[in-house]
Amino acid sequence: MSKIKCIIVEDEPLAVKILVDYIAQVPFMEFQQAFKDALLATDYLRENETDLIFLDIHLPKLKGMAFLKTLQNPPAVIITTAYHQYAVEGFDLNVTDYLLKPFEFERFLSAVNKVKLPQPEADAHREKLPEKDCLFLNVQKKKVKVLFADIVYVESQREYIKLVTTKNEYVAKMSTHEIESLLPSHSFKRIHRSFIVSLGKIESYSADTVEAHGVSLPIGRGYKDTLENL
């Protein structure tokens, strides 16, 4: 079984010690490094991969939520803070869990158990199968077939998504991370934390917006290089 590699972004030494002690008690976890501010963590993530970030909200230089918004392909994130008022914003950013300090080991373990690692064998098996050309979306108690070729963009609406095609619009209860995992990555790209666009439907773009099928979509600050790098 692969271990969950994790880093800690936290400026309180005692909080770091507690997390490191908790991590050491979990056989399937591997502690990599701790950082007292988000900029040091950003530098580390440029050259290294991790599966999970334990992230404090109130950090020097760059706050936790602002740091999270800069990550183009964030790993799983568990927020650790003494301030409950940030919970809604955290879940809007699709964090795995929200731990309110002080928390016991049992609550920590419950959060960690929500982290799912990709299964290499399953991925290899999927690569051998014929490539799908559609998905089935749960819409008003029905499974609706949606062709990838018809999708223009997907918009996050809190716990729902709006999927816009060339013919219809559908609203389904799921996160943008869930729908993103169902879309072929070579044809769809996230351009904003709330928007995923079909590359084939892009008509033009600027530094701040994308025009797709006559609709103007915003490009998030953390996604400026997405189109340029294609």
190 domain-assigned? yes
> Helix axis angle, 13-24 relative to 105-112, nearest 10°?
70
Q: Which of 94, 120, 146 is the last residue of a domain?
A: 120
Cα separation of 37 and 215, whole Å?
39
If asked whether residues 113 and 147 sit together in one domain, one would say no
Structural domain span for residue 223: 130-228
Q: Is residue 125 part of a domain?
A: no
Answering whether pTM is above 0.85, one says no
Over residues 120-159, the pLDDT tens digits come to 554 445 555 566 889 999 988 889 999 999 999 999 998 8
CATH of the domain at 110: 3.40.50.2300
Residue 210 in any domain: the answer is yes
What would the pLDDT profile of 51-106 be if each residue is shown by its tens digit?
999 999 888 888 888 888 888 888 999 999 887 665 455 455 678 888 888 899 99
Question: Which CATH number belongs to the domain containing residue 144 in this structure?
Answer: 2.40.50.1020
Query: In the chain, how many domains are there?
Result: 2
Are residue 105 and residue 151 in the same domain, yes or no? no
HEC per residue, the chain: CCCEEEEEECCCHHHHHHHHHHHHCCCCEEEEEEECCHHHHHHHHHHCCCCEEEECCCCCCCCHHHHHHHCCCCCEEEEEECCHHHHHHHHHCCCCEEEECCCCHHHHHHHHCCCCCCCHHHHHHHHHCCCCCEEEEEECCEEEEEEHHHEEEEEEECCEEEEEECCCEEEECCCHHHHHHHCCCCCEEEEECCEEEEHHHEEEECCCEEEECCEEEECCHHHCHHHHCC
Same domain membership, residue 137 and residue 116: no
